[in-house]
Structure 1
């Protein structure tokens, strides 16, 4: 619904010396035209040809792709960010919607400026305009002229596109990498523990209670693919130590920021202050994405000395990476060795049960009611990334809120873009038996036989455990399927696997691998 702009509400004529100077008897609201402030760069002539602009733009995007995480680059730059013009003092980019403009200016402006400076050899004023990706400067000017001629009215009713933009905004905010300020909301209490991360969680809790050389793990190295909970555990450890040891100085940073800080100290000739800060003033050093130090020889040398000094003084060291220490190329052997001095633990993809638990917790946080079949559908469709798993609920919650609708199965399929292949297939006892057989390389007839060799018994117990967990078959049904065994055999198998999962990381991986194949 459209209505005239309420000028009288905003103008105080009592404080105006001569109100008639503003509205004369011969003027109407339609004669008053809003000022349109075009970016000054658009009024200047480009110093590059279109072909040169395209080459520069492509190179800038390649540079940003190397500097940013895949999630951030894909959200803010892939097919939505385009170089438009370069003048003597400014560089202009077009983005596809106001949301992208806000996110780039808020979260990525420093990286953009750094890439420009590195490529063009000088600093420019960066201007971000909202336009279609292929819109030329002339089109923007024409649009601005049309807007200036338009009557000054406001449309106060958001369109469907406006609402969807709000949904996407909340989703992008969730998927963006968290900053390195310690998030007090990320604790052990709201970290969902499963077979894929139980060892990492246990080690992190132990450190929070007894950090440094007085505890079991003065150095901890966690590695996994992106989005599996490493950063949440970092925050949880930091919050736990701050609660239990408020006098401790906890410093959480990224490898890239550590490098930037060191380079800045070299430029400003304050290396001594840098070294004193990291070796004398910090009780707990936590560095995220330590693999980013690869091929950075000078920074690696400084990190080597920082590590040695803190370790020698009994301080706590915690590192995360997407690879194990011995898999990182471009890292000196002496540093790889030190990274392996303490506990090295990997975090696997969560199993189905853990994914459903994560979704239930996130739904509770969002005050979003979802039926169990919807949670199961999402958990079956998104298997590899916890951040994406939670992000799906952020998107559904935002959509349900702005559209004022109830969440149902068809909406979930539509909003999350789930294809027919994503929908859960019916898992049976036979399917589980075949998946277990394939993983352990033990024929299905052997699983059903009376054989009691160690390998066969272990595989049989795993198959029985998964049959209870996933198919929810009765113990009698499972016992009958596996060679006519009594239900007590199935109870024993379940108890044995549960007990082993508390300490056996290898068994946890086996279960996750089999589940992901179902």
Structure 2
């Protein structure tokens, strides 16, 4: 092996994120007869480096991406004169891997302590330079024949389907451009998100001090529609107030911009941009500011300036302000100055509506049994629901097949839910009783106190919605009441769900338990 391998450099480097002390045992010497030299290193060393690079890559890209495009497909072949040469099995995988060149370069640097040029070759093609090429023997034109295989392999087609799904589930972009497609009109409203939707719509119509909510904080798990609402507000406000300056940015990009301003000695211009020019400031994933003292300090002053001027402030997060560790108390307090609303997981009806809406957008025909199958299986994320339909659409387009329920089960790895327990009137009553800590006997009694009557109305509403029992059956179960009492309960709860956030949360919690 040549003596230019920078062991001392990368073993002392502060940039290395793993422990590679074992590599220092590799002898720096001329290869023996049983060591094959390829480029600057022998085969054993290249294999060891390849393994370490993959360990770093596993932490640098998403699990789905690593499994689909790197694991078993992306391999270091040689390092030669400042160039690290990798191989992949297909042109498609090469194109997907090349989207992650910064992560690949960083992984090499963390292992070897210096930058290398990166070359990615498709195995078996002319650009693969790892093996010596024998000069071709002279042949006559009559002896020469060409076989051009233009038919794509099934593995390539399936990888393409998977990549469309991965790109939707894990969108990768720096900065945020307002998406004109994400509007209030294609946001599916249900009990899980009606308060967030109503507040967002009100802000788009009357932002800032002219409206009810000069500061809005929306929190939920990932993929439940927070970012869609941000874009919908931006599009609505842009239509109603075309002269407004709207800034939609992630907390991470806000931080990067501030750091760049400090490096360029333009911090004053950074502050001025936000505090003097912006009419509506929307920061996505504000929890990313945790532990960033300098960024929090600038954010604090910008928040105060905009709030005092009556500008509109909107934030989203996967946590409530109280749950974000590493956040200054003065910032935590300000995030709670305005309206704080949450978005819960969508119920079955909302999931069904989302599937139908997305299927229409994709021009995808799905029968009711397929819609129900998907809605029963994919429960936790709207993004995952939409991703499932994108995957189905890509599969039918690329594989040239029609959609049927068996194909959907196979492609999306779904199963029938025939083994799920049957929800009965008794189960609804017990679950409602447990949630409100009210004995079932009180729900069935003649008592009309507010708490008991409210719990009884919810139990009756869910008995109609989930169990599908008749008004007469429900009335008989709850103390022999007339069917008109059940009709009244159902109508009352249905009407209040659109405006009462606490009622919505109670109904959603009980329904998810069922």
What band does the TM-score fall into relative to the shorter chain? 0.7 to 0.9
Return the alpha-carbon distance in structure 2 between the equivalents of residues 440 and 84 of structure 1.
64
Pick aligned residue for 1:286 from 282, 286, 292: 282
Tell me the equivalent position of 2:117.
125
The whole-number CA distance in structure 2 between the counterparts of 1:343 and 1:492 is 32
Residue matched to 2:55: 58
Counterpart in 2 of 1:89? 82
In structure 1, what is the Cα distance between the partners aligned to 2:75 and 2:336? 43
Name the structure 1 match of 2:354.
358
Are the aligned partners of 2:52 and 2:111 in contact in 1 as well (CA < 8 Å)? no
Question: What is the aligned counterpart of 1:296 among 287, 292, 295?
Answer: 292
The structural deviation recorded for 1:187 is 0.1
2:186 aligned counterpart, secondary structure: coil
1:174 aligns to what?
A: 168
Question: What residue is the counterpart of 1:189 in the other structure?
Answer: 185
Number of residues paired by the alignment?
464
Unaligned runs of 5+ in 2: 1-36, 138-143
TM-score normalised over the length of structure 2: 0.80
3-state SS of paired residue (1:185): coil
255 and 447 in structure 1: CA distance in 2 versus 1, 3 angstrom threshold: same
Counterparts of 1:237 and 1:83 in 2: how far apart (Å)?
47
Q: In 1, Cα distance between the equivalents of 2:221 and 2:85?
A: 35
Residues 49 and 111 in structure 2, CA contact (< 8 A), matched pair in contact too: no
The answer for the alignment partner of 1:385 in structure 2 is: 381
Take 1:116 and 1:430, find their aligned partners in 2: how far apart are those partners?
62
* Residues 250/443 of structure 1: CA separation in 2 closer, same or farther (3 Å cut): same
The structure-2 alpha-carbon separation of the partners of 1:74 and 1:302, relative to structure 1 and needing over 3 Å to count, comes to: farther
| CA RMSD of superposed structures (Å) | 3.3
Q: 2:89 & 2:327 partners in 1: Cα distance?
A: 40
Contact preservation (8 Å) 2:217, 2:339:
yes
Change (3 A) 1:141 1:77: closer
Aligned match of 1:102: 95
What is the correspondence of 1:359-438 to structure 2 with a 5 Å cutoff?
Answer: 359-419=355-415, 426-438=422-434
Between the aligned partners of 2:116 and 2:206, the Cα distance in structure 1 is 50
How far 1:53 sits from its partner (Å)? 4.9
Change (3 A) 1:162 1:115: closer
For normalisation by structure 1, the TM-score amounts to 0.80
CA distance in 2, matches of 1:131, 1:423: 47
> How far 1:245 sits from its partner (Å)?
0.9
Alignment of 1:139-150 (within 5 A): 141=130
Tell me how far apart the structure 1 counterparts of residues 260 and 73 of structure 2 sit (CA, whole Å): 33
Write out aligned runs for 1:303-314 (5 A).
303-314=299-310
CA separation of 1:166 and 1:76: change in aligned 2, threshold 3 A: closer
Which stretches in structure 1 are left out of the alignment for 5+ residues? 1-41, 133-138
Deviation for aligned residue 1:111: 5.0
Whether 1:161 and 2:155 are equivalent positions in the alignment is: yes
Greater mean alpha carbon deviation, residues 53-62 or residues 272-281? 53-62
Residue 191 of structure 2 aligns to a residue whose secondary structure is coil
Q: CA deviation at 1:234?
A: 0.6
Quote the residue 1:504 is aligned against. Answer: 500
**SS of corresponding position for 2:237:** helix
| Gap change, CA 1:269 and 1:516, over 3 Å in 2 | same
Secondary structure at 1:431 match in 2: helix
Secondary structure of the residue aligned to 2:148 is: strand
